[in-house]
Amino acid sequence: MSNVNADRMVQDDWWPKPVPPNVHFGAGFYCESAQIFRHFRSGDPRALVLGEHVSCYSGCSFALGERGTCSVGDFSLLNGAIIMAEERVEIGSHCLISWNVGIADSDFHPLAAAERRMDAEALAPFFQNRPPRPALRVAPVVIGDNVWIGMGALILKGVTIGENSVVAAGAVVTKPVPRNVVVGGNPAVVIKEIRA
């Protein structure tokens, strides 16, 4: 059972487009609106793989780049997260991901000043001499099972989060998080350990 019809349109949706064909989902998938795929550009045949009983509410956005992929495990709930994947973002099962959470596997622009100027020109749609975009640095993000990410947290490139851990509201996570801990702050540090 799912509220996505056989023609991949979401039931009673105001958004006029279907769920993209390279989004695979298990039984019990709940999608509040297919507008969560408004920034979905991936051409990978298995770009997004959602497990069973995954729930995605309309504040979410799967902003997958041309080669980006993402997976979400069974019973995970995404309330209003933006997933930005140039390469790979993995989310485990039974995860709870709150409002205004950002998860990104790249910084999307180079740090070096000259390269950044070039990138700005490369991204101007009507500029006649658009240069090629400089290469992006990417590092996959891996979020373990049963992780809870609070409101407004940011999970940056290369981060891994161990199972059962909690990211406090507003945290900026830049380093690996072990399992069974609460992290918070900017940059996020371990606040306390939690019972398994």
Ligand X SMILES: CC(C)(COP(=O)(O)OP(=O)(O)OC[C@H]1O[C@@H](n2cnc3c(N)ncnc32)[C@H](O)[C@@H]1OP(=O)(O)O)[C@@H](O)C(=O)NCCC(=O)NCCS
Nearer to ligand X, 131 or 185 (CB): 185
Q: How far is the CB of 102 from ligand X (least distance, A)?
A: 14
Q: How far is the CB of 29 from ligand X (least distance, A)?
A: 20
Which residues would be at the binding site for ligand X (CB under 6 A)? 96, 98, 150-151, 166, 168-171, 182, 184-185, 191
Dig out the tokens for 103 from the structure: 């998860």
Q: How far is the CB of 4 from ligand X (least distance, A)?
A: 24
Nearer to ligand X, 40 or 75 (CB): 75
Q: Taking CB positions, which residue lies at the least distance from ligand X?
A: 150
**Active-site residue (options: 24, 39, 53, 109):** 109
Ramachandran region, residue 66 (left: φ > 0; alpha: ψ -120 to 50; beta: rest)? alpha
Nearer to ligand X, 54 or 166 (CB): 166
- Annotation marks residue 109 as catalytic: yes
Nearer to ligand X, 43 or 185 (CB): 185
Q: How far is the CB of 30 from ligand X (least distance, A)?
A: 16
**Beta-carbon count within 10 A of 128 CB:** 5
* Residues annotated as catalytic (active site), given as ranges: 109
